[in-house]
Each structure stands twice: as structure tokens, then as C-alpha cells.
Structure 1
Amino acid sequence: MGQPKIRNMEEFANISGISRPTVSKYFNNPESVRTSTRAKIEAALKRYDYQPNVFAMNQNRRTTKNIGVVVPNLADPFFSEIGRRVELACIDAGYSPILLSSHGSPEMERDNLTSLRALKPAGVLLAPFGRMSDVEAVQTFDADFPLVLFDANMSSIGQAFVGTDNAQSVDLMVEYLCRSGEAPCFFEMKSPTNPNANKRRQAYIDSMERHGHVPRIYQADGEGWNFEEIGKVEGGRLLAAKSFETKTILCSNDRLAIGMLSAAYDLGLRVGHGPECDLRIAGHDDHPFSKFTCPPLTTIAQDYEAIANRAVRELFSTLEAENQTKDRSETTFDGRLVMRESA
């Protein structure tokens, strides 16, 4: 007959001949028990193929090892990539990340925070919707749990914010496009889902004026997260009507730009920076697929790893401070220009 199925830590302690407090102490911190005891426990774990229920263990602690990570939409490759990096950083620090998607819904963001309460997280990393978020719900959660915001900021909420310096990154792109060809028009959604879009529009206006050019902004109808479709349909409509006043188009994000590239292809327009090309298209974010578009997309790369690691460090710094007062901090990282064939 095979080994008996062990259902909980109490049964594991009994069958391995080790006291329950010692077993619990080991699972909280293996280095806290004697070497000989640790070897005995690990041999028993291997023999009986037992894995403790981490979440059940956490619920019995006053402070758990759970870290909530909430992003607006995991279907968006930007958030899946940065969420993955945040998750790995938490695991490396010995915590159990719980990654949740709000699926493009501010109501789901509120429900995710409510669900996390039941898990008694040590802290939460939140990429909020910003102005579309339930501000009162986020503020209430912030009052009860350590909270760090990343990607999008909400003034005075959370112990820290970490993201990209949109003013620097957009100015970097505008400067390059003006230097290498016609000054760019700006293409965005009329009702953006992310507060970064508003910051990028203002950064574009400021940069164009600094470079002595008139800002030209074109807005697309459409709501939600189907950015590629909106970019193709609305961008295609504007291209077909020859609405853009220059042959250079800077899109608010890469997903809109990918849709615009598709629209240009359908219209038989050649995109690139050579004299034989009809227009240039650039984006922002360095979407994981941007290097594989046709032509590959010129864009601004956000430092995913730096943002993820700094957000995690800010949260752990808050946890270590415990009851000490910690001033709210804001950290932004510069974007990096990635020049490809589209512009």
C-alpha cells in the first residue's frame, strides 16, 4: 500500500514524530530550527510528499505572507508583462503573490480589493484605473492595508507610486521625430481608459511648443480595451480622409499604433522613414509585439523591471517600517527611445 494521504500540518507532525510547534516554526522560517531537526523534517516531507496549504497558514497569522497584485487588464500584454515581473519579485522575497485582473472594469477593481481583504494580505501592489477607479473604495483599503501604486498615480493615495516619466519619454520621442522628419500629429482615444494617456497628451503639447511647432491632436471614438481595433477603424478613417496635417503620426500607445499600421496596409500606404514612404508611425510602451509588426514599430520602452522591482521594494520598506510614519514617495523612470523601421 502507498503512503497515507496527509491532510494537514497536525497529521504531518504526528506521522513524522516532530512536535507541531516545531513543524510550524520550520514552515515559517526553515533557518529557525536546528540543522538536524530541519533535515528530519525535510526527509519526512519527501517521504510523505506533503505540501502545506500556504493560504491556510497565512490565515492563522496576524501578518500574512500574501501580497496582492491588481492590474487593470491581464489581456493587455503590457500589464501581463509588468504583472509577471512584480510577481517574480515578490516570490524572490519569500512572499506569496496573488495576481488579479480587473478585466477593464473599475467595479471589478473594487471587488478585487474586497476579495483581498479576506486573505489578510501583508500588502497590495495596485495599478489603478485612476480617475475611473472607485476612489473611496481605494482610499478605504489604503487606510487598512499597506498599498503601493504603480503605472498610474492617484494623488495622496498609497504609501508610494512608481511609474514612467511620461513628460520625459514623450518629449524624447517628439524631439526625435521633429529632428528626423516632419513634426508629428498626435493620435489618441477621445475617452482614454488610463490616466497616463492624459499625461502623454499634455507632454506632447508641451514638447511641440518647446520645439516651435503647433500641436495637432486627433481623437478616436471608442471605449474599452480594444485599442488595436479602435486604432485600425478610427485611424483608417482619418488616413482615408487625409485628415492628418503631417506625414508623421505619434500614437498615444503601441496598441493604437499597431491598429494604425494595419489600417495603413489596407489603404496601400507604405510606412517607414525612407523617401519612398507615405508616412511614419510611432508609439509608446514597447509592447511585446511591437518589434514584430510590419514594419517594426518605433516606440518608447518603459523599464518594466525597474518599475516592478522598485514597487516591490517600496512595499517591503513599508512593511518593515511597521508603525513608523513613512512619507509618501513618487518614483518615475525615464523611457528609452527604440528606433525601428516605422519611423
Structure 2
Amino acid sequence: MSESKIKNMEDFAAVSGISRPTISKYFNDPDSVRKSTRARIEAALEKHDYRPNIYAINQNRRQTKNIGLVVPNLTDPFFAGIARTIEGMIVEAGFNPLLLSSHAGPEQELANLESLRAIKPAGVLLAPLGRASDHERVAEFAEEVPTVLFDANLEGVGEAFFGSDNDQSIELIVEYLCRTGEPPAFFEMKNPINPNAYKRRTAYVAAMERLDQEPHLIQTDGEGWDFEEIGFKGGTRLIENRLLPTNTVLCSNDRLAIGFLSAAYENGLRVGLGAGSALRVAGHDNHPFSQYTCPSLTTVSQDYDSIGARSVETLLALIESETRAKERDVTLFEGRLIMRGSA
């Protein structure tokens, strides 16, 4: 028996030559490691006369059963659907999801993170507000708690980011609209809250230039999360003042497009394909309501099944290994064109 006393699990890992995550896994459930590894650990326990603090282990085990899930706004069916999908994956993995909404406000986003910090979760899945987020304070939180970002990226924050390839998806729908009718103008908020909007703006201009078409950016006033209202008011102004440079409008997101469709209806304009249609309107995201507009909305569907699955898998791997990522993983998933009646 060794004369030296081992103070903690890190010391035991160092003297036994067995990794800290493997030892932790053994103490949580001896049958979860291979028989040969179990024998090595038990032999090392006897040799070094190490007896772990079972109370501390049990405390840690309880802590690692909670995973925070923070989204910008649960009143939006888009984020409610994403959260529901990710919640199911967390539960299936044996953890407890703690779902919080930032209600489109940076103060509430920080309050959510502080609430999670207090209960010491195993990790956090965060869809940040984006431009409105307090980048520095969110980054400080992610330094303390394993955090994976999805939907909107904050550069350099968290262990990983998984989102949509806006360059690919915007090029896909721009090419389709140019091929099937007049080239589209791009309808957007002047100061969007979500960084994806800026990426889509840039992607639209690049796609139009590659197709030797002149880009037309149409920006409307409005702040916050009431996209349908902003789209309706902006669309009404454009239609009533005959400011549209083309009969095809690509909206930065589906919720703006829903508002624009309403503005067209109120002004007696038929939206759709074929004779008698004055406008074509398309969006982006495949919002849950987009298939039920009149006409149904042509859009690009984000691959949120893959984004959710990859986000959860990555966070669970970090929790299991009890390590932090050496390099930040940024993976973008391609969108899929959904052709409907509006364009």
C-alpha cells in the first residue's frame, strides 16, 4: 500500500495513469466502464488507499442532470418548435431541460444566464438575441459553464455554434426567383436584431451580382420582435407609393413576408403565379405559419433537426468528457427550397 495520500480525483488520475473522465464514470456507475478498466481502477484504489468523497460525487451527479435551454422568444412558434425538439433530445439523454425565454430583451437574456449559473448546470444550449446581446457578459458566462450556441452566432462565444448556411440558402432562392420570373428585390428591417439578417443581406447582394442582376435593397423602419407588423407597415408604404422596383419581393424572414402578404391583400394586389398575379413574394425560415398563409409562402427551410441534434450531441460529449473544447466548432447546415403558391 502506498504511503502517499491522495487528496482528490485529479491526484488519483495522475498517479494511476487513468483519465479523470473514466474515473468519474466509474464512480458514477462501475458497470459503465470496460471490465479490464474497472479492474485497473480497483487495483489502483487499493494500492493508493484512495477513498473518494461520495457525498461530493453525489452532489456533482445531481448538478449534471440539468441542462439550460435559452431561446429569444417562446411566443414565436418558430422558437417554440425548435425548443420542443431540443427538449425531447435532452430528456432522451437522461437530463432535465430548463427552458427559459429572453423575451427579446438583453436584460432578460442575462438574467436567464445568471439564474442558470446559480444552479450550476451541466451545460447550456443558447440561441442568443444576437446584435442586442451583451457580448462580453455572455462570453464570461460561457467561460464558466459549457455553452453551445445555435441559430444566431456570437463570434468567439461558447464551445461551438451550429446554424444555417445563409449564403447557400439565399443563393438557392434568389436563383429560383430569377429563373422563374423577374429578379427579386430584398425586403428587410433597417436595423435588424438578429445577425442572420445581415448575413442574408450580404448573401442576396452577392447572389444577384453572380447572376449579373442589379440588387435592390428595400429597408423599412421598425425595431424589436413584431416582424409581422413591421412587414405590414413597410409593405403598405411601398405598395401605396409604388416604390417597388420589381414585381418579385424576397423578404429577409417569413414573418416579414407574412406582414407583406397582408399589405398586398389590403391594397387589392393578387400575390402568386400565373395570369392575374401582380406580385410574387418569398421568405426564409419555413416558419410554422408559412404553409397556411394565402397564398402559401414560398421559402427556404432551415435544417433545424440537424442543428438541434448536433447542438445537443456536442454539449453531451463535453459533459461526458468533463473537458472543454480545444477549438470552437462552427458548422453551418444547408437550407432546402420550399416552393409554394406565393412565388
What is the Cα deviation at residue 328 of structure 1? 1.1
Separation (CA, whole Å) in 1 of partners of 2:162 and 2:252: 20
- What amino acid maps onto 1:215 in structure 2? P
- What amino acid maps onto 1:76 in structure 2? D
Q: Which moved more, 1:135-144 or 1:65-74?
A: 135-144
Q: After superposition, where does 1:118-137 map in structure 2 within 5 Å?
A: 118-137=118-137
Query: Which residue does the alignment assign to 1:172?
Result: 172
TM-score by length of 1: 0.82
Query: Which residue does the alignment assign to 1:19?
Result: none
Query: Which residue does the alignment assign to 2:218?
Result: 218
Q: Which moved more, 1:102-111 or 1:313-322?
A: 313-322
Separation (CA, whole Å) in 1 of partners of 2:253 and 2:231: 10
- What amino acid maps onto 1:233 in structure 2? K
Q: Is the 8 A contact 2:146 2:324 kept in 1?
A: no
Q: Is the 8 A contact 2:78 2:288 kept in 1?
A: yes
Query: Which residue does the alignment assign to 2:285?
Result: 285
SS in 2 for 1:269: coil
Query: Which residue does the alignment assign to 2:20?
Result: none
Q: Is the 8 A contact 1:67 1:122 kept in 2?
A: yes
Separation (CA, whole Å) in 2 of partners of 1:259 and 1:152: 23
User: How large is the RMSD of aligned CA atoms in angstroms?
Assistant: 1.8
Q: After superposition, where does 1:2-13 map in structure 2 within 5 Å?
A: none
Separation (CA, whole Å) in 2 of partners of 1:306 and 1:129: 21
* 2:259 maps to 1:259: yes
Q: After superposition, where does 1:148-167 map in structure 2 within 5 Å?
A: 148-167=148-167
Q: Moved runs in structure 1, 4+ residues, more than 6 A?
A: 57-60
What is the Cα deviation at residue 239 of structure 1? 1.1
Separation (CA, whole Å) in 2 of partners of 1:59 and 1:151: 33
Query: Which residue does the alignment assign to 1:94?
Result: 94
Query: Which residue does the alignment assign to 2:24?
Result: none
Aligned residues: 292
Separation (CA, whole Å) in 2 of partners of 1:106 and 1:307: 23
SS in 1 for 2:131: helix
Q: After superposition, where does 1:39-188 map in structure 2 within 5 Å?
A: 61=61, 63-188=63-188
Instruction: Structure 1: state its 5+ residue gaps.
Output: 1-27, 33-56
SS in 2 for 1:132: coil
Separation (CA, whole Å) in 1 of partners of 2:325 and 2:221: 45
Percentage of matched positions with identical amino acids: 60
Q: Is the 8 A contact 1:231 1:258 kept in 2?
A: yes
- What amino acid maps onto 2:126 in structure 1? L
What is the Cα deviation at residue 223 of structure 1? 0.6
Instruction: Structure 2: state its 5+ residue gaps.
Output: 1-27, 33-56
Q: Is the 8 A contact 1:273 1:280 kept in 2?
A: yes
Q: Which moved more, 1:182-191 or 1:62-71?
A: 62-71
Query: Which residue does the alignment assign to 2:326?
Result: 326
Q: Is the 8 A contact 1:303 1:333 kept in 2?
A: yes
SS in 2 for 1:131: coil
Separation (CA, whole Å) in 1 of partners of 2:325 and 2:217: 44
Separation (CA, whole Å) in 2 of partners of 1:59 and 1:216: 58
Q: Is the 8 A contact 1:271 1:295 kept in 2?
A: yes
